Amino acid sequence: MRTYEHVHRSDEPLTTNEHGNSSARQQGNGGGLLNGPERWWNILRIVGWSMATLFLLLPLVAMQFTDEVNWGPEDFLFAAILLGGSGLICELALRRSSDNTYRVGVLLALASTFLLIWSNAAVGFVGSGANAANVLYFALPVIPFLGGLVARFTARGMYLTMIITAIAQASIALFAFATDQVGADEHGAILATCAIFILFWSASAVLFQQAAVRSASPGREADGNAGPLRTSPIQFVLSALLMAIGAVMLIFMITVEDEPGMIPLLMFLLGAGWFAITLYRWRAAQRR
């Protein structure tokens, strides 16, 4: 009996789906599911679910030895839903696309969402209690969730969703400052935390955009020539957005605190540097 095995020839074009998936026509053996990077993704699955289980068991064990940890059934239910939901979404993303850039973008977006919900539930993102800003931050994860559904979790749709989420994150922070919901001793911490989340959403947007470029240019991705011209628009938008957020926060800090503040200044300088690098790459690509 003769055994036939699909062998990908160098002249066989790569096929790319709308989710940033790139493969050689989805080989009959699963595309080498346990080979190369896919093997590490499977290890990451095991580690992730193990850490989630450990995270749920630790408070239960700690409650047997100390009164400082006092979780009720509702706390365990909340943690289980949050961890389990994040894990299931991650599993769907890993199965939906084999593009590593898309997958990392999903992981970063999920990590940002998890940290935002958890920190807000634990201590409150702005001050403490259910003030207007914290309620808005609780509602913020609805944007990436609904945006992903509307975009059918395609790479291009997800990077637009991440940009909107970053803008919403900054807008809520500005609203909290403008309505005096931030205490005088919290200014630095709120600005730093908000800046970190904005960078997370923006980085996720860049990753999704890179996956979208590869899905649109499958013939050029192998030699790395998708081109700065194709990637420049989103880089310009994100760097300009970061500069704008930093500038607004700088103006606020100068007018209210009589000092610029290190975090807004760093955000503005980071955005300016990112913009300059993108502009340099764009001009270099035009000269080719």
Q: Do 84 and 209 belong to one domain?
A: no
Q: Do 274 and 140 belong to one domain?
A: yes
Domain limits at 209? 100-288
- The pLDDT assigned to 218 comes to 59
Residue 196 in any domain: the answer is: yes
Q: Do 149 and 37 belong to one domain?
A: no
Residue 129 in any domain: the answer is: yes
Q: What is the mean pLDDT of residues 194-209?
A: 87
Residue 23 in any domain: the answer is: no
Q: Please state, as a whole number, how many other Cβ atoms lie within 10 Å of the Cβ of residue 57.
A: 10
Q: Do 204 and 74 belong to one domain?
A: no
pLDDT digits (tens, 9 = 90+) for 236-249: 766 777 787 777 77
Q: Do 56 and 104 belong to one domain?
A: no
Using DSSP, state whether 122 is helix, strand or coil: helix
Is the pLDDT at 31 greater than 70, yes or no?
Answer: no
Residue 267 in any domain: the answer is: yes
Residue 261 in any domain: the answer is: yes
Q: Do 169 and 258 belong to one domain?
A: yes
Q: Do 56 and 111 belong to one domain?
A: no
Whole-number Å distance between alpha carbons of 144 and 109: 8
Kindly report which listed range (60-64, 212-216, 219-223) carries the lowest average pLDDT score. 219-223
Is the pLDDT at 86 greater than 80, yes or no?
Answer: yes
Q: What is the mean pLDDT of residues 161-181?
A: 90
Q: What is the mean pLDDT of residues 51-62?
A: 87
- The number of folded domains in the chain is 2
Q: Do 132 and 250 belong to one domain?
A: yes
Q: Do 59 and 144 belong to one domain?
A: no
What are the DSSP calls for 210-251, one per residue? HHHHHHH-TTTTTTT-S-HHHHHHHHHHHHHHHHHHHHHHHH
Q: What is the mean pLDDT of residues 272-282?
A: 81
Residue 28 in any domain: the answer is: no
- The pLDDT assigned to 247 comes to 79
Q: 78, 96, 114 — which closes off a domain? A: 96
Q: pLDDT category, 261, cuts 50, 70, 90?
A: low
The share of the chain scoring above pLDDT 90, in percent, equals: 9
Q: Tell me whether residue 194 is exposed, middle or buried, using C-beta atoms within 10 angstroms of its C-beta: 0 to 12, 13 to 18, 19 or more.
A: buried
H helices of the chain, in order, are 37-62, 73-96, 100-122, 132-139, 142-150, 155-178, 187-216, 228-257, 262-287
- The pLDDT assigned to 161 comes to 94
Q: Do 82 and 174 belong to one domain?
A: no
Whole-number Å distance between alpha carbons of 116 and 119: 5
Q: Do 282 and 171 belong to one domain?
A: yes
- The pLDDT assigned to 221 comes to 43
Highest mean pLDDT among 51-60, 127-136, 256-265: 51-60
Whole-number Å distance between alpha carbons of 81 and 105: 22
Q: pLDDT category, 229, cuts 50, 70, 90?
A: very low
Q: Do 45 and 109 belong to one domain?
A: no
Radius of gyration of the chain (CA): 22
